[in-house]
A and B are shown apart, each in its own frame.
Chain A
Amino acid sequence: MRLSSKVTTLLILAAVIAIAPVFFPSSYYFRVGSLIFVNGLAVTGLVILIGYAGQISLGHAGFAGIGAYACALAPVHLGLHPALAALLGALLSAAIAYLVGRPILRLKGYYLAVASLGFGILVSMVLSNEAQLTGGPDGMAVPELGLRAVLKAIGIDLSNTEFWYAFSGLVLVIGAWLALNLYHSPTGRALRALHGSEVAARTVGVDVAHYKLVAFVISAVYASVSGSLLALQNKFITPDVAGFMHSIEMVTMTVLGGAGSVLGAILGAAILTTLPQVLTIFQEYEQLMLGLVMMLVMIFMREGLLPSIARRIRGRAE
């Protein structure tokens, strides 16, 4: 039963990604789709941190920034292929998450929130101020990944937007698979145990500080890869990727969709990525409506959209 919930989630996700393009009226929707997947990936990492381990971070855009700028800088300065640059960014993010996480994960609740916020701000300041290296607030160009050309050579000819839709979708499915594997694993249980009761987790032998750090590092790698994908598909990057707003967006997507559920959080990413565009029909009231929707969801669906809806359907079925 537990295993099937993992397979079901992956099947639903893969099916939606594969079938949705049938209904796309224009290539613009491929672009929106790939943005959803990029956000979905970062949010899946936050499910591990927030949903599994019960820790908060308001600075994860900092890791997205590291991943994004690694793809911009490493090819130019180190001569790395962009794919290797993304890998380097992920390793760097993991290392920085380890160093930053050790001291700040001793903090709880809003203390941790503020400390992580500080980290995010620090990264975006560095990216903005080191203008010689990063182009400052104006941003900088990112080289082509080159995978599309390879695919074309073997006979798979995709447009740029189609390619990024498929590629980010694939990475998202892999990310979701890893996160779901983790959920049912000994590590996942340790994370959920310390979320449920730290003192009880300790008494069954869970090294709480270590496992919080594990969740922090893994979620940082997700954010970093998400930032790399964004940079590579936009072929341009600005410090906004590491900005405060981006961190807040990530957490909002996660919590709104359902921090305890990978699929829920991805749904949250989909809604908050598309909603602002749907709400443009309200014209100047767009932001107002967005805020209202978010408040109503949190008031009436405390666990987030998907878990709340699932619970109601199950309740009705019984």
Chain B
Amino acid sequence: MSLLQIEGLGIDFGGLRAVNDVGFSLKPGEIVSVIGPNGAGKTTLFNMISGVYAPARGRVVLDGEDVTRMPPHLLARRGLSRTFQNLQIFQSMSVLENAVAGHHLHERGSVFADLFSLPAARRRSKASEDSARALLDRVGLGRAAEQEASSLSYGALKRLEIARALALKPRVLLLDEPAAGCNAVETEEIDHLIAQVAAEGVSILLVEHDMKMVMRISNHIVVLDHGEKIAEGEPTAISRNPRVVEAYLGVQATEAKHVDR
């Protein structure tokens, strides 16, 4: 059974059909990539699924529950988490605090306990700090924990966002260009990390421009062009699909063939 089901999703911006009638589904532990040229509506699609935008048409169903137009903080409670294409880091916090903040749903409690620093509040903070350190180690930022977040490189901030999103212990994770701005080594690390997380049963929806990475780790690919789904299928099928090659892969087509499995 699918964990996340997208049905006929669409939104318009001032008469322009930014996304129209897009549908697909994710099973637990599956990695689904959304690809398409710039402006194809990938991030818009992410924003609708994660509750940042309210879709005009269609439905988002999470584990059998209709969560269309549900605000992001309620989606987070149901186990849907995401990262952002344009970084959304808590700038005035340390790297560690950013990761700790991702534990909000696990550590929140009475405001009075927090004001008076009661043992319960300290225990909650300690538990999320321990978990945050483990997550930072996992994304390779363990040694940067005490630094100010603003001092990190772009690629490191991308990984910090992943750590923060994982802190929710999500069932569905939306990653918007996690490898952008990363060098080859970092990209490979992120690649492994995503595969690992998926192996633990988390469904991953990925937007990524690095075609090698997409072809390598995706179970399933959805291709968008001008806001519409033009193809979907397994990586091998997608890389051979003439419509996809024409609309998107273009100059990258030869490259994509090289990584055919």
Contact = CB atoms under 8 A, between A and B. Distances in A.
A189 B116 CA distance: 15
A189 B97 contact: yes
B91 interface: yes
B90 A192 contact: yes
Given A193-B104, A207-B73, A188 B114 contact: yes
Interface string A183-209: 011111110110111011111111110
B168 interface: yes
Nearest to B110: A187
Most chain A beta-carbon contacts within 10 A, residue among B89, B102, B128 = B102
A187 B73 contact: no
A203 B101 CA distance: 11
8 contacts: A181-B115, A181-B116, A181-B121, A185-B115, A185-B121, A190-B104, A203-B81, A204-B101
Contacts of A184: 117, 125
B50 A186 contact: no
Interface of A: 1, 178, 181-182, 184-190, 192-193, 195-197, 199-208, 214, 218, 260
A182 B71 CA distance: 26
A13 B84 CA distance: 41
Given A189-B97, A197-B88, A200-B89, A1 B146 contact: yes
A260 B72 contact: no
A202 B111 contact: no
Given A205-B77, A208-B73, A178 B111 contact: no
Most chain A beta-carbon contacts within 10 A, residue among B114, B146, B167 = B114
Given A202-B72, A204-B167, A260-B92, A178 B115 contact: yes
B99 to A, nearest CB: 10
B109 interface: yes
Contacts of A202: 51-52, 71-73, 76
Nearest to B107: A186
Given A205-B73, A205-B76, A206-B73, A185 B88 contact: no
Contact of B101 (A182, A190, A214, A218): A190
Contact of B111 (A187, A203, A208): A187
Contact of B91 (A188, A196, A206, A214): A196
Interface string B221-257: 0000000000000000000000000000000000000
A253 B176 CA distance: 42
Contacts of B105: 204-205
Nearest to A181: B117
B92 A186 contact: no
A186 B114 CA distance: 7
Contacts of A1: 146
Interface in B134-152: 146
A199 B88 contact: yes
Given A192-B90, A196-B90, A199-B88, A205 B168 contact: yes
A260 B89 CA distance: 18
A24 B213 CA distance: 71
Contact of B92 (A187, A192, A206): A192
B170 to A, nearest CB: 10
Contacts of B84: 199-200
Contact of A196 (B72, B76, B92): B92
Given A182-B115, A186-B124, A204-B81, 4 more contacts: A187-B108, A200-B90, A203-B73, A205-B76
B76 A197 contact: no
A290 to B, nearest CB: 29
A64 B82 CA distance: 42
3 closest cross-chain pairs (CB), A and B: A196-B90, A185-B114, A205-B76
B114 A203 contact: no
B93 A204 contact: no
Contacts of A203: 50, 52, 72-73, 75-76, 81-82, 88, 165
Contacts of A205: 73, 76-77, 104-105, 168
Interface in B34-82: 50-52, 71-73, 75-77, 81-82
Given A202-B72, A204-B81, A186 B146 contact: no
Contacts of B89: 196-197, 200
B100 interface: yes
Given A189-B100, A204-B81, A178 B92 contact: no
Contacts of B90: 192-193, 195-197, 200-201
A189 B104 contact: yes
B59 to A, nearest CB: 20
A182 B165 CA distance: 23
A141 B155 CA distance: 63
Nearest to B97: A189
A208 B51 CA distance: 14
A192 B104 contact: no
A231 to B, nearest CB: 24
A204 B71 contact: no
Contacts of A196: 89-93
Interface string B153-188: 000000000001101100000000000000000000
Nearest to A303: B92
